[in-house]
Structure 1
Amino acid sequence: MSKNSPLQARTEQDAFGPVEIPAERYWGAQTQRALTVFQVGEERFPAEVIHAFGLQKIAAARANRRLDALPPDLAEVIEAAASEVRAGLFDQHFPLPVWQTGSGTQTNMNANEVIANRANQMLGQPLGTRAPVHPNDHVNRSQSSNDSFPTVMHIATALAVRDRLQPALAVLRAALEDRATVFADVVKIGRTHLMDAVPMTMGQAFDAFARQIGHGIDRLEATGPRLRSLPQGGTAVGSGLNAPAGFDVAFCEEASRLSGLDFTPNPSKFEGMAAHDALLEVSGALNVIAASLIKIANDIRFLGSGPRCGLGELILPDDGLTSSIMPGKRNPTIAEVVVQVAFQVIGNHATISAAAASGNFELNVAKPVLLHNLLQSIRLLADVAQVFAQRMIQGIEVDRRRLKSNVDNALLRATALNPILGYDKVVEITVKALRDDVTPRDACIALGFLSAEDYDRHVGTGP
């Protein structure tokens, strides 16, 4: 890479005139102009977007070469430069904020310029020459920002789901399934309306949690066919102007080889560029997962509340953190992190919904904010699922003494006697047990409804 001092500058020319660019930077005139225009916020696209652009430009160069739309020597050097972008070697040369043109044009041009400059450098030319490799004529050949950016949105999302989120959710589901097995014989009192109900097992509670996460994984997988349908080849408005026949098929074949995912051409490029329903569908699946996590985390922290004055049925692992004023206090911090992440994902889904609805005629013009929020949701859910599984779920134990006491004293265990005594007599049992502060077993015997042996036979000790 260039050894020029950061204080030096080079001058590049574009359609609007000369532009000064820091000499050591690989971006070009359009990126530099955008830097002076979009001075909004500090949010930047994560590296995975830049790497996905590298993959997209490799696939485009290969497709152009296959279709004789690019000379082999130029296609080869573009692919080599784009491969370095995909590998993360040029992340620092993508400085633009998320807050830019709604088509993502500036980030697409950023990629075109970096790859063109690096390709020319590989051919022995200085940065800024725009020859023999031109950012628009060659790196962007057969493409438009309007089809390339949404294609990158799909690629980056599909890779993040496959490589990051699905494995993390699988770890969480496995941890919950393990606790369901370990607690299969541990009887607890179920609760409805936050009040005591009839018995069940702690294993059944954890099995329900595991199934929620499993259904979340299934919902994510169900979005796959539409997520892997790419609009590349639509160019400016979806008609494919300036792209050779078969470019969409060739591109998807190359993208599939590069990624290991089965990408297919969207049969309606107009739909893929003007609407982002497939990405909204992914966010919807994430929204359900977030809601599931809130339910699971809240149940666990309430069941573990105490240690002496709460429910105290679960023993939560110690994370080593405590209160700033109350010595030795232990809090369910991991569960609180899970809930906060879920709140963020639910909020992101609202933003993504509004952004996905922002297609005006042939182009959605809220692509950057949609992608930013979607990838943040994926990243946060993946991270928190791992932390939840490893720092809390795997270490949870039960307080068998507390559970036995709760079960023995639970009034509504007597519900099992409805078929034997009838509803009204069971009401008498529960009222007497509550009034006299005795177990329903003792109340039933005192009322003369059943002997101790008959009570135990009908009610038992299980759920």
Structure 2
Amino acid sequence: MTASVEAGRVEYDSLGAVTVPAQAYYGIHTARAVQNFPITGVTVAAYPEFVGALAAVKQAAAQANRDLGLLDERRAAAIVAACEEIRAGGLHEHFVVDAIQGGAGTSTNMNANEVVANRGLEILGFIRGDYAELDPLGHVNMSQSTNDVYPTAVKIALQEQIAVLVNTLRQVSSAFAVKADEFTDVLKMGRTQLQDAVPMTLGQEFGTYAVMVAEDADRLGEAARLISEINLGGTAIGTGLNAHPRYAGLVCEKLVAATGLSLSTASDLVEATQDVGAFVQVSGVLKRTALKLSKICNDLRLLSSGPRSGLNEINLPAVQPGSSIMPGKVNPVIPEVVNQVAFQIVGCDVAVSMAAEAGQLQLNAFEPVIAYSLFQSLTHLNRACQTLIDRCITGITANRDHLMRSVTQSIGVVTALSPYIGYGEAARIAKKALATGRAIPDLVVAERLLTADQVNALLTPEALIGPRELLVLEREIANRGTRKGSDNP
């Protein structure tokens, strides 16, 4: 019910009257929600995929109700036209309710109902608020409940956002793979527990990052398939009250046609209405992805530390001065911002977990914070990945000479000689090298454990960075008994 005044239009509900701005496409239910939930300052309009998904649900419902003879062609056409405008990006500024809200998402559903209804009224030639001609509840929300509309729209929006992030993660993986090829001949020391371990190439190190990120892109794709099952048609608690017996199947068909997504109706709508396990799964995979990216960024910060007193193995692009007091200092700000995004995603995962556990009986009332946390995580992680590619990975260079010196001077190369001189001798040589500052190869030759030619053959990059078959040289060494005190066969 509505009445016009100069400052706006007065709309009525069971609680009384509220004046709605004249230019607003939303109505009284949305206006009340704006007053009730000044929480984050982030409206649902911040997530256009979600707004588009809500419109897709309303469009599919109108088409299904029309085909079932429940909604006349004229009103259905107006609803569909309004929804198509919204899905094309129109009227998003009128989705003004806060992303976090009480009521299990009812305010968001009503916001969608009112915007669609008022735009539909204009299409039909009536003024906004003339709900006798097209009602937000009686027509736009026909055969629906917030409890099946909201989670269905969230799942559609998540699938779209996940697809974008998966593509971006594959770009991150490709960027690391390019660097792996570039650094394939750069020998360096590998480390375990921050101590020298055995040699490897910088290409192997960056190739690992490429594989790690690609694996998580695959896992996210798998998680997306878990949210393709919807409860639309279950209405309030999954029993389908107030919906036609054929509505659930038909509305899913219409929604698939509208979105192009592979959606299916849950086999048990009562279970699907209360269960948010698929959201928990998506959140967990996002956390996994974020933590692995954060670990990689920790490595990049460590490998680039210095430049004089740190590892100084790689150079990150200098994107901004690093200090207000220390001239010339440049910080690894891009890896740092990715770290912080990861920390936030872990927090969002905790919020999703707590909200999932807090559901009671036939409904989880806390889906708004689940949706907000997931949308936020996906948006921020995608932006962080793009930034990591554009402002960091592509510009990384290697300090080749420094890396080679670190190999030749490292105690870790003694591991490669241990099978030929024996573990005990290798440990003694390592200790002596530390005490004297002399290089491992020099000490091995000086003590006639191996010849210079033998050492050189065993310490080539090809021999150091992977498994190898028994060499003729190895057999010669073994036959001559040069492995003093060795307990190796």
| TM-score category (smaller protein) | over 0.9
Does the 8 A contact of 2:433 with 2:439 survive in 1? yes
Structure-1 separation of matches of 2:47 and 2:27: 19
Whether 2:441 is the aligned partner of 1:441: answer yes
Whether 2:421 is the aligned partner of 1:418: answer no
From the superposition, tell whether residues 356 and 403 of structure 1 become closer, same or farther in structure 2 (CA, over 3 Å): same
From the superposition, tell whether residues 38 and 316 of structure 1 become closer, same or farther in structure 2 (CA, over 3 Å): closer
Structure-2 separation of matches of 1:406 and 1:284: 39
The normalised TM-score by structure 2 is 0.91
> Percent same amino acid among aligned pairs?
39
Whether 2:315 is the aligned partner of 1:323: answer no
Does the 8 A contact of 1:117 with 1:128 survive in 2? yes
Structure-2 separation of matches of 1:450 and 1:363: 74
Does the 8 A contact of 1:47 with 1:88 survive in 2? no
* Letter paired with 1:265: T
Q: Which residue of 1 aligns with 2:215?
A: 215
Displacement of 1:255 in angstroms is 2.0
Moved more, 319-328 or 402-411: 319-328
Q: Which residue of 2 aligns with 1:36?
A: 35
Provide structure 2 residue ranges, at least 5 long, that are not aligned to the other structure. Answer: 466-489
Structure-2 separation of matches of 1:47 and 1:86: 12
Whether 2:150 is the aligned partner of 1:188: answer no
Q: Which residue of 2 aligns with 1:138?
A: 139
Structure-1 separation of matches of 2:184 and 2:360: 55
* Letter paired with 2:35: T
* Letter paired with 1:96: V
Does the 8 A contact of 1:102 with 1:367 survive in 2? no
Does the 8 A contact of 2:162 with 2:221 survive in 1? no
* Letter paired with 2:31: Q
SS of equivalent residue, structure 1 residue 188: strand
Q: RMSD of the TM alignment (CA)?
A: 1.6
SS of equivalent residue, structure 2 residue 273: helix
Displacement of 1:240 in angstroms is 0.7
Structure-1 separation of matches of 2:26 and 2:460: 75
Structure-2 separation of matches of 1:41 and 1:398: 44
Does the 8 A contact of 2:162 with 2:224 survive in 1? no
Q: Which residue of 2 aligns with 1:26?
A: 25
Does the 8 A contact of 1:119 with 1:133 survive in 2? yes
Displacement of 1:36 in angstroms is 2.6
Displacement of 1:226 in angstroms is 1.7
Q: Which residue of 2 aligns with 1:248?
A: 248
Structure-2 separation of matches of 1:159 and 1:270: 26
Q: Which residue of 2 aligns with 1:313?
A: 313
SS of equivalent residue, structure 1 residue 190: strand
Displacement of 1:59 in angstroms is 1.5
Aligned residues: 458
Does the 8 A contact of 2:100 with 2:372 survive in 1? no
Displacement of 1:55 in angstroms is 1.4
Structure-2 separation of matches of 1:66 and 1:327: 71
Q: Which residue of 1 aligns with 2:10?
A: 11
Displacement of 1:43 in angstroms is 2.9
Moved more, 274-283 or 56-65: 56-65
Structure-1 separation of matches of 2:197 and 2:333: 28
Structure-2 separation of matches of 1:52 and 1:240: 21
- Structure whose CA Rg is larger: 2
Structure-1 separation of matches of 2:205 and 2:358: 41
Q: Which residue of 2 aligns with 1:333?
A: 333
Displacement of 1:258 in angstroms is 2.1
* Letter paired with 1:336: E
Q: Which residue of 2 aligns with 1:228?
A: 228
Structure-2 separation of matches of 1:225 and 1:431: 56
From the superposition, tell whether residues 461 and 223 of structure 1 become closer, same or farther in structure 2 (CA, over 3 Å): closer
* Letter paired with 1:10: R
Alignment of 1:360-375 (within 5 A): 360-375=360-375
SS of equivalent residue, structure 2 residue 217: helix
SS of equivalent residue, structure 1 residue 223: helix
Moved more, 356-365 or 65-74: 65-74
Deviation per CA, 1:154-188: give whole Å up to 9, x if none. 011111111x2112111101101111111112111
Moved more, 186-195 or 123-132: 123-132
Displacement of 1:386 in angstroms is 0.9
The normalised TM-score by structure 1 is 0.96
Displacement of 1:298 in angstroms is 0.7
* Letter paired with 1:63: A
Structure-2 separation of matches of 1:438 and 1:59: 77
SS of equivalent residue, structure 2 residue 458: helix
Deviation per CA, 1:79-115: give whole Å up to 9, x if none. 1111222223212212211232241001101110111
Alignment of 1:396-435 (within 5 A): 396-435=396-435
